Structure 1
């Protein structure tokens, strides 16, 4: 029994260490991209040695790939809990919008992570991640909305881009806009909810069939 307990503790400790590394790496990669990030800075942020980084993720590239994949896996797990197929297209779209904004609000640096990937690597590692499966539920909702006459005829993939822009650009420009209105905390729960409701109204107005 003692051996089992020790084994379970070791597993939990290893999982915690990996999460600490991924958290520190995400911030470092968001700030500097793959090329500018330093493993020493990541190790310091995670309160581990650089040897520990290499033990869990082999090298900087491996760690970078894990950092890019993590938000995709997290959102996929949350989307799977929504049971979108059992909701009306409009309600399903609202749930996706709420999830996207809420997830980004708790991880406000992830948009800079994707920006760095596009800028430095032209999407080289982005295309290796399983991001397409992340977009499929939204595409499916949009197509179902059109087939049932709830949504007007739209290009699903272009509309997906527009929806993500409305939901997530808010966080991309936060570090700039906070200087324009320093009295407003745009990451406060109240402002996030205001942004969410405005995004829902804006997007539904854009996709709903006139007269619906």
Structure 2
């Protein structure tokens, strides 16, 4: 590839990332129905024509915004080597990864809320999330089979509770900051305390007595 072509490709990647970053914020605040292309363009410091060039329309951009975290998580999960870890160590690692991911991407929880509220998961189901969840459920089932974790009828429900413990901390932050204005719950130190507490809470709940 010629140098000029490499530069054009790189510039296109940078521009698309700027658009997706700005769109993630806008969609998390207003959902698909309330988001405005003009606001996204202003935030990304590009023209609305550029958004249409790369994503065609608002719906196309919304699909891309929802697809990005799925692809990021899919690539990461595929690289995980969980089978050589004990079930307890594997779950501990997954909790750390889940919380760190939320810390890096503060708008995504509201993005999923808007998708569930406005579209009842219509666009969410178009992503291949099942493979990601299956990897975690496999760890839970392995722990149940080995006798490390207590038996349950529905491992997916157990996973739902684990994710709730990890993620709710970030979901309510905008409200809870008014209850404790002097506490920065999104500081690295506080997030690490949340991580340690979440690990202890989850393991106490799922480990077999």
TM-score range, shorter chain: over 0.9
Q: C-alpha deviations, 1:55-113, integer Å up to 9, x for none?
A: 11111111101111111111222223331111111111111100000010011111000
SS at match of 2:147: coil
Deviation at 1:148, TM superposition (A): 1.0
Superimposed CA distance per residue, residues 32-57 of structure 1 (whole angstroms, 9 cap, x where no aligned partner) = 00000000000111111111101111
Note the 1:44-193 alignment, pairs <5 A. 44-154=42-152, 155-193=154-192
- Is this contact kept in 2: 1:79–1:96, CA < 8 A? no
Residues in 1 aligned to 2:40 and 2:185: alpha-carbon distance in whole angstroms: 27
Q: CA deviation at 1:136?
A: 1.2
Q: Provide the aligned length of Structure 1 versus Structure 2.
A: 208
Which sections of structure 2, spanning at least 5 residues, go unmatched?
none
- Structure 1 residues 14-46: Cα deviation after superposition (integer angstroms, max 9, x where no partner): 111111000000000000000000000001111
For structure 1, which segment, 150-159 or 18-27, has the greater mean C-alpha deviation from structure 2 after superposition?
Answer: 150-159
Q: TM-score, normalised by structure 1?
A: 0.96
Which of 18, 25, 28 is 2:26 aligned to?
28
Question: Normalising to structure 2: TM-score of the pair?
Answer: 0.97
Equivalent position of 2:16 in the other structure: 18
RMSD: 1.0
Once superposed, which parts of structure 1, at least 4 consecutive aligned residues long, lie more than 3 Å away? Answer: none
